[in-house]
């Protein structure tokens, strides 16, 4: 591919992408770009393209499909391309390669057969192709498109006998739409001869039954009567078949309905999908039908091709079938050569064991060599190869394997250390030579002085040696020698040395001699006793002084951070086993997945006192769940009280890795564990200070300094209570954060703190709570007191000096004063705390399945959960700050955040819009009386009417919704309106005055730029209004007043229903503002009448879903760019549509104001450029129509969004999407829905992740 065709720029781009593919051949996105770039050479490949360009695109497709052979959609695209280049025969060859690669793809077989019926006149050849497809995919539960195409072909050929025969096969297959096929078969059977509608044996038996029952010819009945009786009985025979098969269909439907992605993709399936496949395979195996079970495995291994567990399971099942050795070999070969990544070598090792079992030892060794060629130094493979050599060639051959890899420069030091340990184990366990094994360790130790694996194996080797009373002293001396070498020779980190010495100390107590206790105590003092950290100046927790001072005399402003997810669960006097606790934490994280993250982790109590079990994993929550399941921890252990914390992380400090994953620990014993959202801006100063005093940091994160700071403060004041400790920590932290902390020193307790990051507490009690609020407790003079000694929000009346010891340090608190104030909400009738469960999360949607009683923490709140109670503390009391936090009831339902029958959340949310806009208007819009009531604005409405100007400030989709209603506000209120992008507003430092009203629009209420702009406006005294979807969000709490749009949870990253609900909410805002203007009354009535009809009009538009899907496939798919034209209020619709298309389909789309077309954009227009024009009727329709005529005159073929039955755009001449007509200022509500559907179907056609587009997160909470 030295010559590519196309211009120099295209060739350079293709070479660049080829180089990227060669560097990272597993990166699907780069491959995708490469395919698109090749297809676009010379303006799009066709039969007139140069031979170089055609060769280039073929080469790219061949390489791509060799790498990803299961992508059936790309086989079809390749075949279509070949058909356009070289004709039918070339396309046939591509299809044949495709069905050889993904044999059981219903879609590919259906496309191939359909292509054949359209391009060939050889009916026998087509029929033969259909029969081949029937063998490959006919048993698929979703094979109905294929069977429909086969029957359609035979109908065209008028082969009714063949159709009946096809239906006769289908009625025995459990499949989707089975009843439809049976009914058609039953109808056709009525006109078919008897010999054709029942097997000969069955027919004979039924005839005999009729005669034996005296209902036949011998009873004098005529032939027609006997035949009618016989047909009735044959029909009953068929009905028996129907009932059996329908029952089989019903049994499988449960599993089939849960399969959300039946095709292959490079992204991992979520755990729920994998679990469903496991259960489905269990069911089919238990049914005992070999053919159906094999077929289901083959289906599963398209979807789950990269999950080695299913290949291994398939091979094991097949091996259990008699005489299937070659089939097993084929399974292992496909998995090893094509699908399972080399980074997961288990399947290949199993393949090697199978070949060894089959007597092909050389092949087994070759498989090991192939793994090691790609993964040099893979310890498990080297050990396995050594063992094969030992089994077949003796011990010396195994030793030779170890030696050769220890001498190899391609094997890393850490792997070599592990191999030394395995070599020694071989000599010890197999040969029985302890001395030779010890010699291996001793002669190699100088090479691995910094290897924890080496020293751990060496120490374990000596400790595990068998001993007796006669040899115990010698055994002790051998172990002690290793310990001395660890202390004097090794170059291990201090934490690792401590862990190894601790293991030795356990040996001393369990098996040591009479002097063991003395040695144990000496080591304990040396390892765990006074350390350099105690020389660190002790912090005074009573004063306002901090460990790390402000920068340049100023406290930095709190930054906004990238959103992660926090979840915590605390049960008090409510017995729960570990399985329940872990599932609760994992499910909580799963509910937060939509926010975007790169790793996940959790921490729970261990089996022993002061023990913590922590699990961390890079990737999806499903991988963390798998790690937990494989850990072997006792899931049945019951806790009557417990605290567990969990986290999904989006890296801000330190790359994604298990090490950097939360929770973070204070020390190897996990004395304190922390999960944290946000950025600690002074973490470098804190880290440097703590490192200088002896603390060793394990990670690159800012969070670790919180945990280590907690340990430092606790070590200085071991009698401190958790509340005071939490306050002292928070006082030291600068930045924005939401955090949870647990500690072995405060079992079953949790500290939760919020500053700039949302945090909500869910409460679940067996009995109704006394009150629906929690008091806020304040520290005296802003100090973090040693104990809160007063009830009901009365601060300690005691001087700071009285709390200090003579040395100036915090004095141990008076134990008699160490009782906390009790939350009235959580007390039982006798005044004692009652059993309770608490759920903490950064998002209320993660709590709805557990409780609907929630409390939103405010900035600077520090919550302490203990003994079934929730206390809220603040360091200082600000003017205007409420003294209580309300316990609210959220109206969210669990099913509202699940996908239901839809394939994606975005699709579900598009189709929810008829209901979501009604929810926005419910209780606010009174159509009968033509009034609007917005309770959240009532108190401030007169002030807003008097304002000098209204400034709408937002980002992204919310900005577009503001643009959409600007004209309505100007018309109805006659107040000057400006619409600002929050980031630009801040960059300009735009002037804001006290008599301005600033409206902040945000779906999440946490948008970073909007929050910063809000604070900017508050500082300048402007009245602020929030229009948000999330109750308790930062914008909703910081603004003076506002409107909740009540659209329900929006999970998909691309906003859909929030846009239309924002639109409606702001229109109602404008209507309410203008209700005192009599001159606008008629106009207001028209708009209110229009709002009343919007929901039904939405439903009408959504019926166009299928036709829009077809239009996308026909005109927009595989394009490189798209123009969207709108004018007036429809320009904002075009902006929103373009954003949606860019966000999720990755297709470049530009929104252009139609009036600007002639100012440069018109140069782009030709017959090849796809254009969508919004041309619904309004006052400026003639001007918009002028733009349409300009496009048509230059050969453009625009898709037009117009009003229903508009004569200006006859269907014969224009591709059009018809929408109902409404009031002009509401028309954008209707026009945007087709654009949402276009964006969705374009993304689906490309196999993209619609709900989680690359590089984007739902809550954009970073600057």
The Cβ of residue 776 has, within 10 Å, a number of other Cβ atoms equal to 19
- By the 10 Å C-beta count (0-12 exposed, 13-18 middle, 19+ buried), 1071 is classed as buried
Please say whether the beta carbons of 390 and 398 come within 8 A: yes
Q: What is the β-pairing status of strands 638-649 and 599-605?
A: antiparallel
Query: What tokens appear for 64 in the block?
Result: 């791509």
* Range 399-403 contact pairs with CB under 8 angstroms and sequence separation of 24 or more: 399/423, 399/426, 399/427, 402/426
The Cβ of residue 378 has, within 10 Å, a number of other Cβ atoms equal to 21
Catalytic residue among 113, 564, 1041, 1202: 564
Q: Look-up: residue for tokens 């010699």?
A: 439
- Report which of 891, 849, 885, 844 is spatially closest to residue 864, judged by C-alpha positions: 885
> What are the angstrom distances between the C-alpha of 359 and each of 355, 363, 397?
6, 9, 19
Which helix or strand (DSSP H or E) is residue 438 part of?
Answer: helix 434-444
How far apart CA 1111 and CA 1123 sit, in angstroms, is 16
Helix (H, G, I), strand (E, B) or coil at 840: strand
Burial code of 75-111, b = ≥16 C-beta within 10 A, e = fewer?
bbbbbebbbbbeeeebbbebbeebbebbbbbbbbbbb
How far apart CA 198 and CA 575 sit, in angstroms, is 62
Please say whether the beta carbons of 1002 and 958 come within 8 A: yes
Which helix or strand (DSSP H or E) is residue 1148 part of?
Answer: strand 1148-1153
Q: Look-up: residue for tokens 């259909």?
A: 130
Any idea of the CA torsion for 402, 403, 407, 411, to the nearest 10 degrees?
0
Burial code of 865-882, b = ≥16 C-beta within 10 A, e = fewer?
bbebbbbbbbbeeeeeee
DSSP characters for 412-436?
Answer: -HHHHHHHHHHHHHIIIIII--HHH
What is the maximum alpha-carbon separation in the chain? 123
- Report which of 462, 375, 386, 461 is spatially closest to residue 415, judged by C-alpha positions: 375
How far apart CA 445 and CA 440 sit, in angstroms, is 9
Query: What tokens appear for 338 in the block?
Result: 């094509």
Query: What tokens appear for 946 in the block?
Result: 């008097």
> What are the angstrom distances between the C-alpha of 468 and each of 369, 427, 507, 513?
43, 22, 15, 12
Helix (H, G, I), strand (E, B) or coil at 752: strand
How far apart CA 667 and CA 538 sit, in angstroms, is 19
The Cβ of residue 305 has, within 10 Å, a number of other Cβ atoms equal to 22
How far apart CA 969 and CA 961 sit, in angstroms, is 12
Query: What tokens appear for 757 in the block?
Result: 């990051």
* Active-site annotation holds for 564: yes
How far apart CA 921 and CA 1093 sit, in angstroms, is 12
- Report which of 914, 907, 880, 856 is spatially closest to residue 1092, judged by C-alpha positions: 914
What is the chain's alpha carbon radius of gyration, rounded to the nearest angstrom? 36
Q: Which one-letter DSSP state was computed for residue 966? A: H
Q: Which residues are catalytic?
A: 564
């Amino acid at each position: 591919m030295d010559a590519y065709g196309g211009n120099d720029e295209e060739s350079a781009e293709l070479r660049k992408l080829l180089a990227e593919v060669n560097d990272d051949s597993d990166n699907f996105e780069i491959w995708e770009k490469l395919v698109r770039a090749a297809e676009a050479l010379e303006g799009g490949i066709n039969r007139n393209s140069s031979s170089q360009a055609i060769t280039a695109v073929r080469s790219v497709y061949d390489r791509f499909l060799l790498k990803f052979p299961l992508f059936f959609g790309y086989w079809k695209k390749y075949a279509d391309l070949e058909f356009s280049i070289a004709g039918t025969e070339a396309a046939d060859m591509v299809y044949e390669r495709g069905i050889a690669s993904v044999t059981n793809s219903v879609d590919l077989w259906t496309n191939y057969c359909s292509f054949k019926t359209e391009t060939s006149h050889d009916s026998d050849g087509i029929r033969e192709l259909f029969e081949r497809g029937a063998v490959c995919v006919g048993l698929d539960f979703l094979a109905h498109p294929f069977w429909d195409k086969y029957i359609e072909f035979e109908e065209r050929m008028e082969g009714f006998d063949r159709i009946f025969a096809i239906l006769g096969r289908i009625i025995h297959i459990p499949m989707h739409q089975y009843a439809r096929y049976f009914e058609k078969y039953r109808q056709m059977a009525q006109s078919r001869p008897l010999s054709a509608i029942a097997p000969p044996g069955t027919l004979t038996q039924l005839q005999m039954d009729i005669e034996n029952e005296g209902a036949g010819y011998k009873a004098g009945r005529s032939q027609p009567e006997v035949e009618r009786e016989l047909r009735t009985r044959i029909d009953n025979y068929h009905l028996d078949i129907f009932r059996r098969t329908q029952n089989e269909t019903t049994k499988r439907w449960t599993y089939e309905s849960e399969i959300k992605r039946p095709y292959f993709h490079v992204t991992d399936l979520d755990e729920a999908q994998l679990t469903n496949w496991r259960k489905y395979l269990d069911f089919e195996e238990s049914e005992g039908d070999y053919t159906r079970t094999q077929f289901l495995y083959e289906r599963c291994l398209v979807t789950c091709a990269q999950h080695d567990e299913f290949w291994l399971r398939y091979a094991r099942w097949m091996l259990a079938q008699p005489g299937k050795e070659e089939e097993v070999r084929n399974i292992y070969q496909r998995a090893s050569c094509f699908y399972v990544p080399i980074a997961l070598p288990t399947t290949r090792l199993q393949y090697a064991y199978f070949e060894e079992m089959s007597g092909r030892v050389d092949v087994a060794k070759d498989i090991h060599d192939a793994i090691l060629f790609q993964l040099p130094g893979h310890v498990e493979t080297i050990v396995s190869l050594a063992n094969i050599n030992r089994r077949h060639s003796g011990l010396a051959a195994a030793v030779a394997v170890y030696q050769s890899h220890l001498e190899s420069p391609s094997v890393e030091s850490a792997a070599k250390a592990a191999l030394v340990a395995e070599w020694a184990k071989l000599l010890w366990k197999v040969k029985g030579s302890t001395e030779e094994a010890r010699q291996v360790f001793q002669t190699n130790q100088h090479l691995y002085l910094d290897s924890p694996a080496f020293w751990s194996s060496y120490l374990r080797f000596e400790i595990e040696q068998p001993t007796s009373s006669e040899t115990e002293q010698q055994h002790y001396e051998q172990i002690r020698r290793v310990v001395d070498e660890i202390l004097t020779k090794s170059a291990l980190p201090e934490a690792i040395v401590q862990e190894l010495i601790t293991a030795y100390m356990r040996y001393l107590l369990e098996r040591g001699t009479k002097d063991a206790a003395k040695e144990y105590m000496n080591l304990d003092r040396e390892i765990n006793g006074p350390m350099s950290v105690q020389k660190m100046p002790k912090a005074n927790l009573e004063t306002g002084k901090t460990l790390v001072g402000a920068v340049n005399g100023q406290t930095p402003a709190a930054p906004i951070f990238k959103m992660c997810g926090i979840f915590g669960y605390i049960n008090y006097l409510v017995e729960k086993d570990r399985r329940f606790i872990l599932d609760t934490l994992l499910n909580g994280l799963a509910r937060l997945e939509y926010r975007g993250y790169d790793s996940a982790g959790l921490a729970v109590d261990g089996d022993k006192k002061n023990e913590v079990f922590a699990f961390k994993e890079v990737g999806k929550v499903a991988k963390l769940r798998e790690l937990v399941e494989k850990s072997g921890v006792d899931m049945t252990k019951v806790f009557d009280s417990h605290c567990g914390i969990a986290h999904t992380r989006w890296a801000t400090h330190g790359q994604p890795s298990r090490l950097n994953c939360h929770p973070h620990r204070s020390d190897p014993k996990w004395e304190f564990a922390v999960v944290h959202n946000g950025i600690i801006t002074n973490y470098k100063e804190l880290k440097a200070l703590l490192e200088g005093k002896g603390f060793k940091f394990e990670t690159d994160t800012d969070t670790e300094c919180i945990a280590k700071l907690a340990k430092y403060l606790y070590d200085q004041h071991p009698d401190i209570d958790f509340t005071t400790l939490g306050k002292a920590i928070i006082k030291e932290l600068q930045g924005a954060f939401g955090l949870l902390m647990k500690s072995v020193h405060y079992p079953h307790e949790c500290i939760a703190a919020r500053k700039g990051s949302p945090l909500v507490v869910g409460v679940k009690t067996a009995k109704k709570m006394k009150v629906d609020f929690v008091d806020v407790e304040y520290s005296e003079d802003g100090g973090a007191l040693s104990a809160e000694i007063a009830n009901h929000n009365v601060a300690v009346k005691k001087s700071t000096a009285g709390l200090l010891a003579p040395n100036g340090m915090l004095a141990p608190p008076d134990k008699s004063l160490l009782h906390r104030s009790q939350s009235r909400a959580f007390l039982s009738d006798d005044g004692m705390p009652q059993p309770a469960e608490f759920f903490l999360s950064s998002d209320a949607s993660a709590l709805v399945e557990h409780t609907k009683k929630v409390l939103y923490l405010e900035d600077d709140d520090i919550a302490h959960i203990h003994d079934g109670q929730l206390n809220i503390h603040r360091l200082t009391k600000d003017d205007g700050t409420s003294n209580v936090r309300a316990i609210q009831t959220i109206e969210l339902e669990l099913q509202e955040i699940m996908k239901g029958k839809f394939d994606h959340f975005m699709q579900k949310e598009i189709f929810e819009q008829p209901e979501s806009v009604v929810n926005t208007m419910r209780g606010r819009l009174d159509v009968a009386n033509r009034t609007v009531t917005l309770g959240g604005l009532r108190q401030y409405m007169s002030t807003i009417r008097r304002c000098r100007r209204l400034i709408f400030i937002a980002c992204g989709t919310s900005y577009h919704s503001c643009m959409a209603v600007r004209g309505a506000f100007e018309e109805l209120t006659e107040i000057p309106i400006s619409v600002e992008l929050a980031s630009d507003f801040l960059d300009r430092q735009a002037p804001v005055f006290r008599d301005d009203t600033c409206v902040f629009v945000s779906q999440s209420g946490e948008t970073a730029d909007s929050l910063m702009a809000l604070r900017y406006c508050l500082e300048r005294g402007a009245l602020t209004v929030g229009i948000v979807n999330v109750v308790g969000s930062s914008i909703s709490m910081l603004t003076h007043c506002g409107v909740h749009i009540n659209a329900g949870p929006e999970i998909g990253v691309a906003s859909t229903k929030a846009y239309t609900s924002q639109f409606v909410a702001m229109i109602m805002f404008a209507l309410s503002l203008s209700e005192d203007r009599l001159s606008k009354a008629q106009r207001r009535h028209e708009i209110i009448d229009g709002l009343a009809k919007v929901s039904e009009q939405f439903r009408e538009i959504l019926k166009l879903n299928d036709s829009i899907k077809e239009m996308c496939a026909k005109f927009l798919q595989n394009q490189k760019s798209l123009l969207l034209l709108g004018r007036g209020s429809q320009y904002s619709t075009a902006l929103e549509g373009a954003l949606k298309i860019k966000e999720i389909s990755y297709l470049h789309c530009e929104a252009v104001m139609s009036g600007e077309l002639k100012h440069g954009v018109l140069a782009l227009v030709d017959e090849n450029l796809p254009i969508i024009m919004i041309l619904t009727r309004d006052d400026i329709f003639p001007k918009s129509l002028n733009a349409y005529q300009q496009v048509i005159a230059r050969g453009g073929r625009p898709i037009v969004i117009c009003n229903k039955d508009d004569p200006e755009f006859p269907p014969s001449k224009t591709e059009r999407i018809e929408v109902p007509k409404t009031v002009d200022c509401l028309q954008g509500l209707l026009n945007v829905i087709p654009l949402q559907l276009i964006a969705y179907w374009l993304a689906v056609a490309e196999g993209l992740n619609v709900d989680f587009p690359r590089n984007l997160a739902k809550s954009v909470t970073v600057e």
